[in-house]
Amino acid sequence: MTLSEAYQQHVLPTYGRFPLVAVRGEGCRLWDEAGRCYLDFCTGIAVCSLGHCHPRLVEAIREQAGTLIHVSNLYQIPQQAALAREINEHHVQLPGKVFFSNSGAEANDGLIKAARRFGHRHPQADGTARYEVITFRQSFHGRTLGAMAATGQAKIQEGFDPLLPGFRYLPFNDVSALAAAVRPETAAVLLEPIQGEGGVNVATPEFLHAIAALCQAHDLLLFFDEVQTGFGRCGETMAWRSIAPAIEPDGISWAKGMGGGVPIGAFWLSDRAIDGTGCPLSSLLGAGSHGSTYGGNPLVCAASLAVLHEIRSHDLAANARHQEARIRDIISSWQLPVITEVRGRGLLLGVALDPARIAAPEGKTPALVIVTRLMEAGLLVPPAGPDTLRLLPPLNVTDREVDEALALLHGVLATY
């Protein structure tokens, strides 16, 4: 049985997969079964932040796997406490507390649960709980029932209704739509500071400040989904700091790049007082209120700790800014008519394409046409929406690797 036959017979067909079979990775490169080498600017969709098989990460996983892989959250886990401390002190840099999940969607579900607890504690005027979370069009928050309902894209929700109630989607970057949006039942606002899957759309500083002011005025929680953008990816510790650094969110969710490839997610709640008695927001999820069997086990926490140490000690956020500037300079020097815009921050960059110049067969977007041609040329990138390419190299990518990838990109795009 061939691999694609095994897929057809045994794996649910939820993904349209490319025929590529990667068998080995090192740094920025992947090799397929035939020994062909690819430059990987997809990195498992912003997951392998140190590239493939970084020696520090491999060693941390090896050592922990040989010592203790898993114990229950019924017991204390030193690697989990150390990781939470690393996150609080060096990455969030605001007083708060962390819960470890296994994915980004689960992390967002945790934030949604926190919003509901908050809405019980701070109810509407008539005493009924608040529960609604405002999110935005073109957002992506994940595939669980909660995160899918939070996601402002009909194609993600198609055929899965009735959805979890309590979400309303506003236009992204539209300050004027915010003012009238709050209802008595509204409890929180959740957004990606830079929408990743939705096309690499950067929130404006005015928009983030307007949301923060709205939350303040109406006693709403402000949550950032930093699942794709956090931990150096966008050139700062967190993406919101690359846009509006003075804002202090109430909650943050993460996954993807924090584990460098091991499945780990997390959410954070602020220690700020939510009433006159000094009760901190982070106390609303007390013992028995939330849990995860695997969440924050010794293996994934040791791995994530190695990743976050490496990002911090080598200031990989600074490399993300450095490479962003180079990529923008080089691409704009090409003056190619097919490229309409470069959006994003750091090493989450969207190269917007002019769809009118790209003939796409039925059922294939212009971005997918280009992604396929780039793969044939030896460069892996994912799309973001129908006509944007996403560049997501590892945070430690070198000048030479960027130059090589851009030469491949130019080779393909210059023909349109």
Ligand X SMILES: *Cc1c(COP(=O)(O)O)cnc(C)c1O
Interface positions with ligand X (CB under 6 A)? 103-105, 108, 140-142, 192, 196-197, 225, 227-228, 255-256, 265
Which residue lies nearest ligand X, judged by its C-beta?
104
Q: How far is the CB of 192 from ligand X (least distance, A)?
A: 5
Cβ proximity to ligand X: between 100 and 339 the closer is: 100
285: its two tokens: 């999820």
C-alpha to C-alpha distance for 199 and 389, rounded to whole angstroms: 8
Amino acid making up residue 414: A
Residue 115 · residue 150 · CB < 8 Å: no
Helix axes 316-334, 399-413, angle to 10 degrees: 30
Q: How far is the CB of 151 from ligand X (least distance, A)?
A: 8
Token match 């307007």: residue? 210
Q: How far is the CB of 101 from ligand X (least distance, A)?
A: 9
Kind of pairing, strands 348-353 and 339-345?
Answer: antiparallel
Cβ proximity to ligand X: between 79 and 103 the closer is: 103
C-alpha to C-alpha distance for 322 and 276, rounded to whole angstroms: 45
- Phi then psi for residue 25, to 5 deg, are -140, 150
Cβ proximity to ligand X: between 252 and 316 the closer is: 252
Cβ proximity to ligand X: between 110 and 358 the closer is: 110
Kind of pairing, strands 37-40 and 379-380?
Answer: parallel
Q: How far is the CB of 46 from ligand X (least distance, A)?
A: 7
Cβ proximity to ligand X: between 11 and 23 the closer is: 11
Question: Could you write out the three-class secondary structure of 231-251?
Answer: CCCCCCCCHHHHCCCCCCCCE
C-alpha to C-alpha distance for 284 and 269, rounded to whole angstroms: 9
Strand partners of residue 191:
224
Q: How far is the CB of 290 from ligand X (least distance, A)?
A: 16
Q: How far is the CB of 36 from ligand X (least distance, A)?
A: 28
Cβ proximity to ligand X: between 197 and 324 the closer is: 197
